Amino acid sequence: MLTFVLVHGSWHDGSAWKAVIEHLEAKGHQAFAPTIAGHGKGVNKNVNHAQCTQSIVDYIVSKDLTDIVLLGHSFGGTVIAKVAEVIPDRIRRLIFFAAFIPNDGESLNDNVPSRSQALFDQLASESDDRTVMLPFEIWREAFLNDADLDLAKSSYAQLSSEPYQSMIDKLDLKRFYALPIPKSYLYCTEDTALPQGEWGWHPKMSSRLGQFRLVQMPGSHEVMFSNPIGLAEKIIVAGRD
Amino acid sequence: MLTFVLVHGSWHDGSAWKAVIEHLEAKGHQAFAPTIAGHGKGVNKNVNHAQCTQSIVDYIVSKDLTDIVLLGHSFGGTVIAKVAEVIPDRIRRLIFFAAFIPNDGESLNDNVPSRSQALFDQLASESDDRTVMLPFEIWREAFLNDADLDLAKSSYAQLSSEPYQSMIDKLDLKRFYALPIPKSYLYCTEDTALPQGEWGWHPKMSSRLGQFRLVQMPGSHEVMFSNPIGLAEKIIVAGRD
Amino acid sequence: MLTFVLVHGSWHDGSAWKAVIEHLEAKGHQAFAPTIAGHGKGVNKNVNHAQCTQSIVDYIVSKDLTDIVLLGHSFGGTVIAKVAEVIPDRIRRLIFFAAFIPNDGESLNDNVPSRSQALFDQLASESDDRTVMLPFEIWREAFLNDADLDLAKSSYAQLSSEPYQSMIDKLDLKRFYALPIPKSYLYCTEDTALPQGEWGWHPKMSSRLGQFRLVQMPGSHEVMFSNPIGLAEKIIVAGRD
């Protein structure tokens, strides 16, 4: 029996994992899905990356969770890398699920193509709270390409705008890259949230981990919506010893 | 209910889609499979690329097809890109299925490795009508690698020689690249009609589309023969809104 | 009905193919799994690459096997390439299964990242018989990433140390690269025994074959343990005419 802590990505909150958690629990595991500070609907979006990290550390410590498999999706990868620096002794394994793994000193934004950088910058400037909301067409075509239009719409309705500061903060990751915690990289083979090839998730991000366990499945960047049962099965494969 | 127009590739004619169309219709869709000018058995092979394009435009206009999902396979990608420039208002979405998408000003031949260029050039020179016939061994090993020998032979018997001029015509694609029509790229993961890697279909060709929906499936370049039902299912996923 | 000769990779011996052979035989084929000289438990490990090759040639000739489909896994690819130079007339097709295919004049070790080269060199130096034993953590995370821990342990117990000389011998492969024998490359999409990308098996190794048949399946480098039935099915697809 494993204890999973699932950390969502940009635009999401902890509720994105609902169906995945049900299946993990049905398989006998425990799973928790905190919402990162500044994320979700109706909250103050004025947060930086350090506050995002601290909110997840606080969640884990307040519940006194130990021996956890800590998973980060997408932007959540930058968060779990920093969380692991603070509370390494509570972590059994890290799973980077279609996750950003910046090099030491980089931000998330340093790891997206210049076209996306320009878009995010523009959207943040045009917002009244320095946040970025993902346009629906990108969500539908590049993030949920394996779903039908109804699911693309209903899942989009769950999203909320992303604090821009947490995307551009440069991260000191020296301690993370020295941690001996086992690591897995979970990747869906139709994920085009980052364009495949030069800028793709795998092997660009994954190879930075040094030794890691690769787990793949068919699907898009958002299989927690389009295939939560399949995702839960692969999370177990990625998370076991 | 969608209306599909399926445009075949080099060496094929419209009959290649027979089993795929049956399954699309069984799922409640309409599908048409015109044969490009200069293609098929027993016809005049003296055509250039503009004539290929015009023949598909004429087919769609003469049947007054509107709101269509226009799919091009392989060489057919170069045709639907030009067709879309002529009749954009009739097209709901473009699907490039293991398709060439030349940069503006390039020919199909500019997008194959020099080894293939040399082979095609030699075969055209040796023919008596400036056409290229694909050698059986390449068809069997690189195009239908997921089929047994019987299917490789029976499908090869359906092929006919390809007009060389349509492979080397340089295409003005400025208007195509400015069209706002939604686009999908459908790719089979064992397709070696182009060698995978530097010269492969995806992401080399697909990335030229800008925003697009990626749909993948296992199989070879010729899954309309080796797995027509599976292909029809993925065409629906690529073609829906 | 095909006659397969399955040549194992580093650290393995012929017993690794037991479950695969059972399934090939159940499908009506014949299959043999010789152990390469210097491989397996309790044998003299002082062999070079030429002796490895000779042992497989001797096996095939002594049994007078003809018209064979000769498969090499991983290191076994370097062996079957040299075997094919010696007894080409006995071989119907070559299958390179996640196999090294060195360029003419290269060793296996020339085809692994410098990090792996350094590790193998160090392990050989520290051994008392100039062999390399693969550390369990690499086996579990990078070679058998699709298995559970129990299978990772039980299969690791079957391994034995690898003669270093056979990994560093430079191979004259001029005759191999001129052989007209049909060739297939079989690749598992989660294989990280070589890091995916620049150093990966496919298309880096496979593209050296010129024309070849690509066959892929999900799984790790060691699917003979994690999915022997699925592997047997794909070996048949790779091996048929």
| pLDDT less than 70: residues of chain B | none
Q: What is the pLDDT along chain C (241 residues), one digit of tens a residue?
A: 999 999 999 999 999 999 999 999 999 999 999 999 999 999 999 999 999 999 999 999 999 999 999 999 999 999 999 999 999 999 999 999 999 999 999 999 999 999 999 999 999 999 999 999 999 999 999 999 999 999 999 999 999 999 999 999 999 999 999 999 999 999 999 999 999 999 999 999 999 999 999 999 999 999 999 999 999 999 999 999 9
φ, ψ of residue C93 in degrees (nearest 5):
-160, 150
Q: What is the pLDDT of residues C32-57, one digit of tens each?
A: 999 999 999 999 999 999 999 999 99
Looking at residue B222, its pLDDT comes to 98
Q: State how far residue A183 is from chain C, nearest Cα, in angstroms.
A: 9
B interface test, pick of A140, A141, A221 with most B CB neighbours within 10 Å: A141
Among all residues of chain A, which has the CA nearest to that of C195?
A207
Q: Which of B203, B213, B237 lies at the smallest CB-CB distance from A196?
A: B203
3-state secondary structure of C224: helix
User: HSE-up of C146 (CA within 13 Å, CB side)?
Assistant: 20
Question: pLDDT-derived band of residue A125, with 50, 70 and 90 as boundaries?
Answer: very high
CB contact under 8 A, A213 and C138: no
Do B51 and B37 meet the contact criterion of CB atoms below 8 Å apart? Answer: yes
Name residue, tokens 């210049």: A114
Looking at residue A12, its pLDDT comes to 98
User: B interface toward A at CB cutoff 8 Å?
Assistant: 182, 189, 202-204, 207, 211-216, 237, 240-241
Do A142 and B182 meet the contact criterion of CB atoms below 8 Å apart? Answer: no
Average pLDDT in the A120-126 region? Answer: 97
User: A interface toward B at CB cutoff 8 Å?
Assistant: 137-138, 141-142, 145-146, 148-149, 189-190, 192, 195-197, 200, 218
Chain A to chain C Cβ contacts (< 8 Å): 34
φ, ψ of residue A164 in degrees (nearest 5):
-70, -35
State the pTM of this model.
0.97
The chains in contact with chain C, meaning 3 or more Cβ pairs closer than 8 Å, are A, B
Q: Which of B189, B203, B211 lies at the smallest CB-CB distance from A138?
A: B211
Among all residues of chain C, which has the CA nearest to that of A189?
C189
Q: Assign residue A4 a region: left if phi > 0, alpha if psi is -120 to 50, beta otherwise?
A: beta
Quote the CA–CA distance of C72 and C175 in Å, as a whole number.
18
Quote the CA–CA distance of B207 and B209 in Å, as a whole number.
5
* Domains of chain B listed by start with CATH number: 3-239 (3.40.50.1820)
Q: Which of A137, A145, A196 lies at the smallest CB-CB distance from B215?
A: A145
Q: Which of B174, B194, B239, B193 is nearest to B212 (CA)?
A: B239
Quote the CA–CA distance of A70 and A32 in Å, as a whole number.
10
Residues on chain B touching A153 (C-beta within 8 angstroms): none
What the block records as the tokens of B169 is: 């015509």
Looking at residue A216, its pLDDT comes to 98
CB contact under 8 A, B240 and A190: no
Quote the CA–CA distance of C108 and C136 in Å, as a whole number.
21
ipTM: 0.97
Q: Which of C98, C112, C115 is nearest to C190 (CA)?
A: C98
What the block records as the tokens of B192 is: 């070696």
Do B138 and B194 meet the contact criterion of CB atoms below 8 Å apart? Answer: no
Looking at residue A224, its pLDDT comes to 98
User: B interface toward C at CB cutoff 8 Å?
Assistant: 137-138, 141-142, 145-146, 148-149, 189-190, 192, 195-197, 200, 218
Looking at residue C2, its pLDDT comes to 98
CA B154 to centroid of chain Cα atoms: 20
CB contact under 8 A, A203 and C196: yes
Mean pLDDT of chain A: 98
CB contact under 8 A, A189 and C192: no
Q: Which of B189, B214, B241 lies at the smallest CB-CB distance from A145?
A: B214
Q: What is the pLDDT of residues A65-79, one digit of tens each?
A: 999 999 999 999 999
Residues on chain C touching B200 (C-beta within 8 angstroms): 203
Question: pLDDT-derived band of residue A85, with 50, 70 and 90 as boundaries?
Answer: very high
Looking at residue A66, its pLDDT comes to 98
Looking at residue A58, its pLDDT comes to 98
CB contact under 8 A, C203 and B195: yes
Q: State how far residue B108 is from chain A, nearest Cα, in angstroms.
A: 22
CB contact under 8 A, A141 and B182: yes
What the block records as the tokens of A3 is: 């204890």
Question: pLDDT-derived band of residue A146, with 50, 70 and 90 as boundaries?
Answer: very high
Among all residues of chain C, which has the CA nearest to that of B189?
C216
CB contact under 8 A, A214 and C138: no
Q: State how far residue B181 is from chain A, nearest Cα, in angstroms.
A: 12
Do A80 and A6 meet the contact criterion of CB atoms below 8 Å apart? Answer: no
